Structure 1
Amino acid sequence: MADKFDYDLFVIGGGSGGVRAARVAASEHGAKVALAEEDRYGGTCVIRGCVPKKLMVFASEYARVPEEAAAYGWDFRPGPFDWHGFKGKLHGELDRLEGIYRKLLDGAGVEMFDQRAVIKDAHTVELSDGTTKRAKHILIATGGAPVRPDLPNADLGIVSDDIFHLEQLPKSMLIIGGGYIACEFACIMNGLGVEVTQYYRGAQVLRGFDEEARGLVAESMRDSGIDLHVGSNIVEMTRVADRKDGPQPTASDASMGASTLDASAASDDGDVAPNRSGPIWVKSTNGGEKVFDTVLFATGRNPSTKDMGLEDVGVKLGRRGEIVVNEYSQTDVPSIYAIGDVTDRVNLTPVAIREGMAFVQTVFGGEPTPVDHELIPSAIFTQPEMGTVGMSEEDARDAEEVEIYCTSFKPMQTSFAGASDRVLMKLVVSKETRVVLGCHIVAPNAGELIQMVGIAVKAGLTKEQFDATCAVHPTMSEELVTMRNPTRTT
């Protein structure tokens, strides 16, 4: 007798990728679909990532407005930042967006379970209330979660999920890490008036991005007042009684446990929530000692696959717990697929959505559709922003001989106001084919700019086709089509 299924598709995870796949499979292909989400609909991007972070970026950028406006003849009087007012409106917006996600799923006929789900076999999931559901296909889209380092008292620090729930802004903050999350929050908190120190163990922040571009970002961060230390890491931390130098453990430190913490704020990685009462003394690898109000660990994210029963049913996991899939997002178990950050391929929201669409087209549309992970534009929302698409100069020159077209200058708007800000426009060009292999922008609104340049790079346009495009003047981005002579050949 043929298997009897409750659903054509069961999706585990209500983030952007999972919701898109569930909704399209149901509404456009008539599939019977269910989705389980143990936390909030919208996932990392909407609830604890891209959206609230970008709103905080906007908030932090207003700090410079009064000074810059004065140079243009306006008299704006700066005032203190109202964290409580902003935080309330921020969470109201997140509630609104979550409601939209739920409405979209409901409108498509997707049955929703607000519970954790685990895999029992190739076609069966078990919900946290003990009920089981059978599906012809299972899609895992559980995303990832921030991790804390293996360090005594690491629970004293917060992770990126927690930063949107701070009761009040700290006076000082130490940020550990040098990736885009660490650098973005360093700029955000600095803009909101927090004294920010950042430690990164590597030689330069934003590892993996173009060396010249990340160098300018680091320089700009320091110029803005961020105390950035590379080649540094944290080796010891403890709660202290006051802000005087040196460790002075409070009486409760020796027996600190979950009972002293706010369990309602527990982080997604399963750790207890940080104890935020009292400053934290920190010792670094270079021997420095300092006391901070808050320590933020931005030291990476791991795929959320823990205790899901995946390996028990034959799903292969990688070294970091990521689900191993083929080009069609299919696991070693033919009926089980995975998309998004849980696969640790390209951890970006639009990529998860693209992977979800490719999965639906493959499984329900009858058209096997591999996921295209080539030439994906991305942005880092530091201040200034970095936008990038294609190969860095370093990667390109390892592959072939390239010409570099690059310029750095003071933009008109801030230069007029007497600021020292600099921007960067850079093209990496194949000497043999003349194709633009990469573009890197460090400038205000670089994220907006790189979206448009990404089309040209994805299309494989040549440097001469860039040159044949008339400039829009006066703009920063006109430099991308007016750089006639290479600055170097490598």
Structure 2
Amino acid sequence: MTFDYDLFVIGGGSGGVRAARIASAEGGARVGLAEESRMGGTCVIRGCVPKKLMVFASGYGAMAAESQAYGWNAVIDGFDWPRFQAHLHSELGRLEAAYRITLKNAGVTIHDSRAVLEDAHRVRLASGEVFTAKHILIATGGRPFVPDLPGGELAITSNDIFDLPELPKRMLVVGGGYIASEFACIINGLGVEVAQYYRGAQILRGFDDEARGLVASTMQANGVGLKCGNDVLRLEKTATGIRAVSTDGADLEFDAVMYATGRKPNSAGLGLEALGVELGRNGQIIVDDYSQTAVPSIFAVGDVTDRINLTPVAIREGHAFADTVFRGVPTKADHELVASAVFTQPELGSVGLSEEAARDLEPIEVYATAFRPMQTAFAGFPDRVLMKLIVSQKTRRVLGCHIVAPHAGEMIQLAAIAIKMGATKEDFDRTVAVHPTMAEELVTLRKPVRTA
């Protein structure tokens, strides 16, 4: 059978774009790609990039106050949301154009349309056009959602926050994961009165308990009204805002309510189940180690598979798929020891096992220190940072590293290299410190604070 394409990719996010580019430019494949929204996907248009730019914007108020201790007569008088927003959307437009140019230069044919599967080798665009492909890759990502509750239509999600016509004066963030916690810090840093409700006992579930505890307490000290063990029963429209009726009995009014209580894979309506593609309970596409579904010609990468929902992981999965199928180099995406960063204030960087997870597996030693960093201590601020290593008693390998500090994301990236290579505690000890830095504490932790 002669196919229109060797590969047809549905989804123009990070994973799909990487797979398309490698398959075409390095694998010599004829590639088509369909994207129903904007090229770049969640990360570039609705996630990592605009969020990180908002993180930067939200930090300048504190910087101005801190700078006064260093002799600067600095004053920041309010935040101009429309001016920032215009610059933000201009930058996202530039990045989207760059993605399109990259695909075009790689020889990929772009279809600005929704695509669904007709069968194992055919895709149909919204225009009615049908294309055949030897291989089909689903890279449609995921989406935030608002739970089914009375008044839920009054809430927004992280997709909407970049397009608000104006910043609210009072905002409620519902959720306790990294997206909810990041936006609570961002909006608070921009001068908005922020409350955060989370029904669990502590935010950032799955991260090291000591690390997430420090993040939570610092967020509260910085003005975020964090309430754990609390949930919203219903939302009600009022003459002056939105009333959130919650389980703790405090029915408070806000100008905006943002839900960040989870994400769902974008797998519905693609025609997958009719073809025999298996879906999980959350709607995720079930794939093997090579990202292949139960239908041999159909593959899936990224958040739609709900493995590790991080942009760099989707990129690795897309690249591994292209190497396997089009370059003759069978490659499994490596999901072990993937580092992550939570861009709260302060940041949390993490790689490997938490103390709680590690002690359930084997005897461990815990090396940790918490201290006031030089820069903010000089300015008289009470901020504290945490450096923590989890070490196997038997092998001496560092099983986990957790950092709560400014620029923790930058530090954990470098620590992750050593830990991925199998570094032992003694390897860390042999490394000469860079002084004066916060990160030098990682190589000067001599005695465990506890064993488990």
State the TM bucket, normalised to the shorter chain.
over 0.9
2:89 aligns with 91
2:307 aligns with 345
Kept after mapping to 1: 8 A contact 2:59/2:189: yes
Percent identity, aligned pairs only, is 64
- How much does 1:423 deviate? 0.2
1:480 aligns with 442
Q: Secondary structure at the match of 1:10?
A: strand
1:456 aligns with 418
1:383 aligns with 345
Query: CA-to-partner distance for each residue in 1:231-276, whole Å, 9 max, x for gaps?
Result: 000001110013xxxxxxxxxxxxxxxxxxxxxxxxxxxxxxxxxx
Q: Are 2:290 and 1:292 aligned?
A: no
Report the Cα distance in structure 2 between the residues aligned to 1:145 and 1:216, rounded to whole angstroms: 29
Counterpart of 2:361, as a letter, is A
Report the Cα distance in structure 2 between the residues aligned to 1:236 and 1:137, rounded to whole angstroms: 46
Q: Secondary structure at the match of 2:159?
A: helix
**Structure 2 residue corresponding to 1:37, chosen from 32, 35, 40:** 35
- How much does 1:303 deviate? 0.2
**Structure 1 residue corresponding to 2:282, chosen from 312, 320, 345:** 320
Query: CA-to-partner distance for each residue in 1:181-223, whole Å, 9 max, x for gaps?
Result: 0000000000000000000000000000000000000000000
Counterpart of 1:457, as a letter, is I
Q: Secondary structure at the match of 1:404?
A: strand
**Structure 1 residue corresponding to 2:166, chosen from 156, 165, 168:** 168
Report the Cα distance in structure 1 between the residues aligned to 2:38 and 2:425, rounded to whole angstroms: 46
Q: Are 2:291 and 1:329 aligned?
A: yes
Report the Cα distance in structure 2 between the residues aligned to 1:390 and 1:38, rounded to whole angstroms: 36
1:47 aligns with 45
Q: Secondary structure at the match of 1:76?
A: coil
1:417 aligns with 379
Query: CA-to-partner distance for each residue in 1:367-415, whole Å, 9 max, x for gaps?
Result: 2111110000110000010000000000000000000000000000000
- How much does 1:365 deviate? 1.3
Q: Secondary structure at the match of 1:440?
A: strand
Counterpart of 1:21, as a letter, is A
**Structure 2 residue corresponding to 1:108, chosen from 106, 109, 112:** 106
2:60 aligns with 62
Matches within 5 A, 1:51-450: 51-242=49-240, 279-450=241-412
- How much does 1:66 deviate? 1.8
Q: Secondary structure at the match of 1:306?
A: coil
- How much does 1:108 deviate? 0.9
Q: Secondary structure at the match of 2:3?
A: coil
Report the Cα distance in structure 1 between the residues aligned to 2:340 and 2:64, rounded to whole angstroms: 30
- How much does 1:288 deviate? 1.1
1:253 aligns with none
Query: CA-to-partner distance for each residue in 1:64-86, whole Å, 9 max, x for gaps?
Result: 12211110111012211000000
Query: CA-to-partner distance for each residue in 1:134-155, whole Å, 9 max, x for gaps?
Result: 0000000000000101101101
- How much does 1:59 deviate? 0.1
Query: CA-to-partner distance for each residue in 1:259-301, whole Å, 9 max, x for gaps?
Result: xxxxxxxxxxxxxxxxxxxx10111111111100000000110
What TM-score, normalized by structure 1, do the two folds share? 0.92
Q: Secondary structure at the match of 1:159?
A: coil
Report the Cα distance in structure 1 between the residues aligned to 2:298 and 2:64, rounded to whole angstroms: 55
Counterpart of 2:316, as a letter, is R
Report the Cα distance in structure 2 between the residues aligned to 1:479 and 1:232, rounded to whole angstroms: 36
Kept after mapping to 1: 8 A contact 2:363/2:393: yes
Counterpart of 1:63, as a letter, is G
Report the Cα distance in structure 1 between the residues aligned to 2:416 and 2:70, rounded to whole angstroms: 34
Q: Which runs of 5+ in 2 are unaligned?
A: none
Kept after mapping to 1: 8 A contact 2:182/2:342: yes
Q: Secondary structure at the match of 2:160?
A: helix
- How much does 1:341 deviate? 0.2
Report the Cα distance in structure 1 between the residues aligned to 2:88 and 2:24, rounded to whole angstroms: 31
What TM-score, normalized by structure 2, do the two folds share? 1.00
Q: Secondary structure at the match of 1:160?
A: coil
1:25 aligns with 23
Counterpart of 1:18, as a letter, is G
Kept after mapping to 1: 8 A contact 2:34/2:115: yes
Report the Cα distance in structure 2 between the residues aligned to 1:452 and 1:444, rounded to whole angstroms: 15
Q: Secondary structure at the match of 1:139?
A: strand
Report the Cα distance in structure 2 between the residues aligned to 1:424 and 1:488, rounded to whole angstroms: 15
Counterpart of 2:313, as a letter, is V
- How much does 1:4 deviate? 1.8
Report the Cα distance in structure 2 between the residues aligned to 1:472 and 1:313, rounded to whole angstroms: 57
Report the Cα distance in structure 1 between the residues aligned to 2:152 and 2:226, rounded to whole angstroms: 21
Kept after mapping to 1: 8 A contact 2:13/2:140: yes
Counterpart of 1:140, as a letter, is I
Report the Cα distance in structure 1 between the residues aligned to 2:319 and 2:325, rounded to whole angstroms: 10
1:471 aligns with 433
Report the Cα distance in structure 1 between the residues aligned to 2:425 and 2:133, rounded to whole angstroms: 51
User: 168-177 or 71-80: which moved more?
Assistant: 71-80
Q: Which runs of 5+ in 1 are unaligned?
A: 243-278
Report the Cα distance in structure 2 between the residues aligned to 1:383 and 1:360, rounded to whole angstroms: 38
